[in-house]
């Protein structure tokens, strides 16, 4: 027996069993657009209950629905973008329905929810836009000089040094930066230049790297034909290039003694004269100098001009070595790790606590520069070993051996609560590992150093799960 809509009871039960249990929203209407079927997914997707819409005109709920068009034209439509309600996006396909006799009895629509896909697509598009913007910003930052905000520290004395230097940056005082190699003297010089707001360039000159015979022409420039081999067009010197900006004289302790009076004259008169010319060129150049030597002692020995030293040293900045800023070591290590990973697309996220202990206990004769090199090397080795954490085996072996005695003492103190036997085993493991590092993992030499047979050493390697690091 058929219903008024053209569907018999058996057909409708089959529809409800099959269509009510699929993930797509299914809606069925008769030839008058009265809703015949509305599955569970439709209720969830459209926010309309089945009892509210069954037997009602679909157009009263969804005026823009595709089904009325199917009823009107008896045509099928596939994969049409649809937004049946706010914040709901679907791809709809709608087809006409015919009974066994071939009579047209209604239409069926299937809505596939793509709301999350569209949101993800928008998110990906926005993310790509943001990434492009960040790349541009990064390129801009890299091309710009450093600023004081790029200098990170937790050391109170170093913070005070930064703040004081930042305040004098806006003046025209010449600055002398003193500190060991690798402490960041040029970084400070660039930060002073940036903070000063000068329109001219920052020009760096390494006094120890310029050959003695080229020193004068490099700094002061020369006219055409001034000497054999000179360029026909002549050449401006570093002081001219820095006009309106800053010239950074690094390693001033290596400046030739006979050229120091000429530097002094430029500072006092504010003019530079090229080699082969008698025409002075007016300058407005700030001088920042740096050294890792004791210039005062050099003055006493007659190795440096006293008047030049005091002209350069209007304001002195002393940068403390990294070993005196223990609280900055891990902070800087993490910064260098993040920067290196971002620049190279590596996924190394952590520095293990054991590595942090080694870093804090190491002497860092090369200061911040050495720390940066060590971290970058460790990140690369961790990546090669397919690890997302920097472990002791990723550090240079000499660092581990130089700090091993401190680690031993610390571990003994920490493990007293574990009992004598376990503590001794842990100490034995550390000593064995230390001997292996010192001998470059040569078993015979390590066994000899430890005073035990090779067979005993092999047994202990297996017992303590000691394996040769991948970078050895």
pLDDT by residue (tens digit) across 256-296?
898 899 999 999 999 998 888 888 899 999 999 999 999 99
For 209, what's the count of Cα atoms within 13 Å in the CB-facing half-sphere? 5
Given a cut of 90, whether residue 309 has pLDDT beyond it is yes
pLDDT grade for 470, boundaries at 50, 70 and 90: low
Q: Enter the CATH code of domain 9-117.
A: 3.30.450.20
Pairing of strands 246-250, 202-206: parallel
Say if CB 151 and CB 289 are below 8 A apart: no
Tens of pLDDT, residues 383-437: 888 888 899 889 988 888 776 655 444 445 555 555 677 777 778 888 888 788 7
Tens of pLDDT, residues 44-86: 888 889 889 999 998 888 887 889 999 999 999 888 877 766 6
Residue % of the chain over a pLDDT of 90? 33
Q: Does domain 148-320 have CATH number 3.40.50.300?
A: yes
**Res 399: pLDDT:** 86
Domain ranges of the chain: 9-117, 148-320, 325-395, 400-472
Backbone angles phi, psi at 227, to 5 degrees: -160, 165
Of 263, 256, 348, 354, give the one whose Cα is nearest residue 310.
Answer: 263
- Alpha-helical runs (H) found in 290-419: 295-300, 306-312, 326-344, 353-361, 367-384, 397-414
Q: Enter the CATH code of domain 400-472.
A: 1.10.10
**Res 65: pLDDT:** 83
Given a cut of 60, whether residue 234 has pLDDT beyond it is yes
Mean pLDDT of the chain, nearest integer: 84
What whole-number distance in Å separates Cα of residue 201 and Cα of residue 100?
Answer: 87
Burial class (CB in 10 A: 0-12, 13-18, 19+), 345: exposed
**Res 140: pLDDT:** 52
The partner residues of 258 in beta bridges, in order of sequence, read: none
Pairing of strands 77-85, 88-98: antiparallel
Topology of domain 325-395 in CATH is: Helicase, Ruva Protein; domain 3 (1.10.8)
Which segment, 72-81, 82-91, 174-183, 234-243, is predicted with the most confidence on average? Answer: 174-183
């Amino acid at each position: 027996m058929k219903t008024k809509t053209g569907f018999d009871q058996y057909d409708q039960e089959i529809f409800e069993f099959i269509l009510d249990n699929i993930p797509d929203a299914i809606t069925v209407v008769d030839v008058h657009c009265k809703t015949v079927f509305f599955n569970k997914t439709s209720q969830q997707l459209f926010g309309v209950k089945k009892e509210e819409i069954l037997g009602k005109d679909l157009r009263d709920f969804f005026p823009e629905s595709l089904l009325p068009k199917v009823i009107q034209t008896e045509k099928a439509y596939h994969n049409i973008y649809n937004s049946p309600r706010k914040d709901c996006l679907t791809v709809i396909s709608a087809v006409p329905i015919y009974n066994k006799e071939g009579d047209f009895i209604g239409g069926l629509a299937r809505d596939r929810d793509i709301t999350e896909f569209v949101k993800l697509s928008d998110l990906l598009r926005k993310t790509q836009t943001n990434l492009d913007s960040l790349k541009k910003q990064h390129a801009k930052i890299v091309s710009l000089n450093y600023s004081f905000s790029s200098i990170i520290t937790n050391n109170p004395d170093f913070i005070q040094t930064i703040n004081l230097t930042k305040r004098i940056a806006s003046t025209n005082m010449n600055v002398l930066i003193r500190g060991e190699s690798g402490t960041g003297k040029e970084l400070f010089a660039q930060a002073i230049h940036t903070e000063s707001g000068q329109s001219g360039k920052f020009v760096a000159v390494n006094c120890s790297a310029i050959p003695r015979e080229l020193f004068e022409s490099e700094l002061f420039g020369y006219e055409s034909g001034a000497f054999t081999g000179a360029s026909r067009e002549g050449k401006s010197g570093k002081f001219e290039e820095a006009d309106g900006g800053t010239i950074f004289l690094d390693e001033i302790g290596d400046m030739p003694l006979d050229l120091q009076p000429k530097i002094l004259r430029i500072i006092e008169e504010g003019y530079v004269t090229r080699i082969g010319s008698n025409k002075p060129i007016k300058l407005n150049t700030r001088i920042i100098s740096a050294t890792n030597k004791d210039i005062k002692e050099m003055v006493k020995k007659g190795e440096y001009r006293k008047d030049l030293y005091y002209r350069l040293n209007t304001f002195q900045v002393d940068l403390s070595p990294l070993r005196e800023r223990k609280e900055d070591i891990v902070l800087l290590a993490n910064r260098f790790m993040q920067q290196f990973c971002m620049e190279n697309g590596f996924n190394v996220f952590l520095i293990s606590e054991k590595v942090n202990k080694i870093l804090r206990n190491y002497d860092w004769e090369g200061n911040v520069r050495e720390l940066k090199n060590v971290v970058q090397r460790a990140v690369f080795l961790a990546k090669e070993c397919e690890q997302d954490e920097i472990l002791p085996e990723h550090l240079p072996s000499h660092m581990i051996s130089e700090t091993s005695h401190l680690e031993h003492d610390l571990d003994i103190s920490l493990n007293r609560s574990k009992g004598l036997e376990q503590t001794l085993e842990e100490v034995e493991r550390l000593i064995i590992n230390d001997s292996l590092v010192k001998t470059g993992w040569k078993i015979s030499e390590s066994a000899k150093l430890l005073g035990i047979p090779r067979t005993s050493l092999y047994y202990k390697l297996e017992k303590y799960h000691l394996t040769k690091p991948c970078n050895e």
